[in-house]
Amino acid sequence: MRKFQIYLLTFLLFASCAANEESVEEVVEDTTTSTTTTTSTTTTTTTVIEEEKVLNEYGQEILEMSSEMKEQFNELISFVEKRTGLKFTEYPKYELYTLEGYRNYSVASYLDDFEEDYEEGEWERAVLSENMWGLTTKTPDEMKQLYVDFVRCASSGSYSLDDKILRVPIKKNQKKLNLFEQSVLVHELTHSLQGQIIDLSAWYSEMKETDDFSDYYGRRSIMEGQADLVQARWESGLDAYDRQTMQSQYPPGCGIALPDYIYIPFELYYGYGPQLVKEIYNQGGMEALNEALYLLPTSEQIYSIEKYYSSEPYQEVLINDLSIEGYSLVDEGTLGSLDIVYLLQPQIGQGTAVNAGIGIGGGSWKDYEDENSNLLMTVKISGDSTKELTEIYDSFISWAEAQSRFSPGESSTNSSGALYIGDTNFWIENNNGFVRLILSQDLDILVNIITDCSSGSCKKDF
C-alpha cells in the first residue's frame, strides 16, 4: 500500500556520479615562414580545439562552474555555515546542468531507479491499491507516464541523500549565477550540510535496504523547514528591485500536473514542517533546530506541534495474518498519520483528514493477492484515546459515504461494523480498542471474513 506513495517522495534521491572536472579551451598558434630571394610570405594558422564536454552516466552534459560562479558558490557556502552555525566537513559535491539537461537527468534516473525498486507485478499491484482506495482510475502505464512527465518538469534543484550531490540547472554560457540560481543553491547547500552532519546517506541506505520509510517523513519535514528558513534569510537581504528580478528568473513551467492527492506529502514537508521549524527556532534558536535534525519525529508530530513537544510515542500494532482460500500475503507495513491524511483528504478535506491523522496511536496493514492479481487489503489502527479512535472511525465512514462508487451493504446478524459495496468493497469496524478495515474486490470473500467465527475468534478480529 505504501510503496506507491513513497516513490514520488524519494524520486530525486538517486545514484549518480560527481564529475566537476574543468575543461579549458586550448588555442594553439602555428606560425610558418617561407623565404626566397624575391618574396617573403608569412602564414599564421590558428587551431581552436573544441572544449571537451563532461557527461554524467546518462549522457547529460555537466556544465563547468566559472571562476566567478565558484566565488559566488563559496560565498553561499559561508552564508549557510554562518546561518546554521554548522561547518561543512568536506567541500560540497555539485553538478550543474542546463534546464533541459537537468530534466533529462531527472527522468533517466527516475526510470533507472524504477526498474531497480519494483519487482515483477509490484507496480501493477501498487496502482491497483490506489484504484481501490479511490485515489485514481489510471492504469499502471498511465500512472508511470504521468510520473515521468512530472519528473521532467523538475526545474529548481535537488540534493541526493544517496550520493550526496546537489544538482541545480543554470543558464548556459553565463559567467555568474543569477539570483534565482543562488537562492536555490542556498536551499540545496543547507541539505548538503545536513547530509554531512547527520550522515543522511547511511540513514537513507538503511531505509532502502529494509524497505521501511516510516522515519523519512518527519525528518525530511525538519530538513526542508530548516532549508526554507536559511533560504528565506538569504532572500531577505535582497531589495525590492532584486526580488522582482529574481522572480523574473524563475524557469518556465511545462504544464504538467499530478492529481491533487499526490501533493499531500509536500504539504507536510513545505507547509506543516516549516510551521514546526519556526516554533522550534523561536523557542531555542538555530541550535535547537540543529538538534532536531537528529530526531526522528513521526508525521503525527509534524502535523501537531503539541505532540512534537510531548514526544508522543508511536504504538506498535500487531495485525494477524488471515487464512484466505486462494490468496497469499504479498506485502505488509506500518501506518502513520500521513497515510491517513493521504487516503482521506481528497474526499473529506484537509482539516478533517489531518485531525483524524493526529489522533492515530499506531497502525499496520497487510496485502493479499490471488492468482488472478485480485487484491485484498487489511488495516488495523489504534488511537491515542478512545475519543480520537472514534474520530478516525467517523472520518473513514465520511470518506466512504462521500463516494458515489459505494452503496451501503446489508448488515448481517453474524457481523458488526459497516459494509459498503461496489467494484471495491469496504468494511470497517471500531471494536476492542482498534479500528479495522478491509478492502476487497470480491464481495463474497469479504463477507466470509467478517462473518466467520468458527475458529473461536472471528477472522475479522485480525
Distance (Å, whole) CA 99 – CA 252: 10
Mean pLDDT of 303-323: 95
Question: What confidence tier does 456 reach under pLDDT thresholds 50, 70, 90?
Answer: low
Please count the CA atoms within 13 angstroms of the CA of 324 that sit on its side-chain side: 31
**Chain segment 98-136, per-residue pLDDT in tens:** 999 999 999 999 999 998 889 889 999 999 999 999 999
State the pairing for strand pair 93-97/158-159.
Answer: unpaired
Residue type, 373: S
Condensed to tens digits (0 to 9), the pLDDT of residues 10-36 reads: 434 322 223 333 333 333 333 333 334
Q: Helices 67-84 & 273-292, crossing angle to 10 degrees?
A: 80
Question: What confidence score (pLDDT) does residue 414 get?
Answer: 58
The per-residue pLDDT for range 222-258, each reduced to its tens digit, is 999 999 999 999 999 999 999 999 999 999 887 787 8
Q: Is 171 exposed, middle or buried (0-12, 13-18, 19+ CB in 10 A)?
A: middle
| Residue 34 CB coordination number (10 Å) | 9
* β pairing state of 165-169 and 93-97: parallel
On whether the CB atoms of residues 205 and 162 are closer than 8 A, the answer is yes
For residues 136-159, average pLDDT: 92
Supply the pLDDT for residue 13.
Answer: 31
Q: Are 285 and 301 in contact (CB under 8 A)?
A: no
Asked if 411 and 347 touch (Cβ cutoff 8 Å), the reply is no
Architecture, CATH, for domain 327-451: 3-Layer(aba) Sandwich (3.40)
Is the CA virtual torsion 175, 176, 180, 182 positive or negative? positive
Residue 352 confidence class, pLDDT cut points 50, 70, 90: very high
Contact 185, 191 (CB under 8 A): no
pLDDT of 44 above 60: no
Which of 320, 325, 364 has its CA nearest to residue 456? 320
Half-sphere exposure of 332 (CA within 13 A, CB side): 14
Phi, psi of 436 (to 5 degrees): -115, 140
The answer to whether 339 and 2 are in contact (CB under 8 A) is: yes
Q: Exposed, middle or buried, 31 (CB in 10 Å: 0-12/13-18/19+)?
A: exposed
* 150-203 pLDDT, tens digit each: 888 877 899 999 999 999 999 999 999 999 999 999 999 999 999 999 999 999
Task: Encode burial over 111-143: b for 16+ CB neighbours within 10 A, e otherwise.
Answer: bebeeeebeeeebbbbbbbbbbbbbbeeebeeb
Share of the chain above pLDDT 70, in %: 87
| pLDDT of residue 283 exceeding 50 | yes
pLDDT of residue 249: 96
Whole-number pLDDT of residue 259: 87
- What's the CA gap between 216 and 273, in Å, rounded? 13
Indicate the SS3 state at residue 47: strand
Helix (H) or strand (E) segment spanning residue 291: helix 273-292
| Interatomic CA distance for residues 393 and 377, integer angstroms | 17
Question: What percentage of residues in the chain have a pLDDT greater than 90?
Answer: 77
- List the domain boundaries for the chain: 3-18+55-306, 327-451
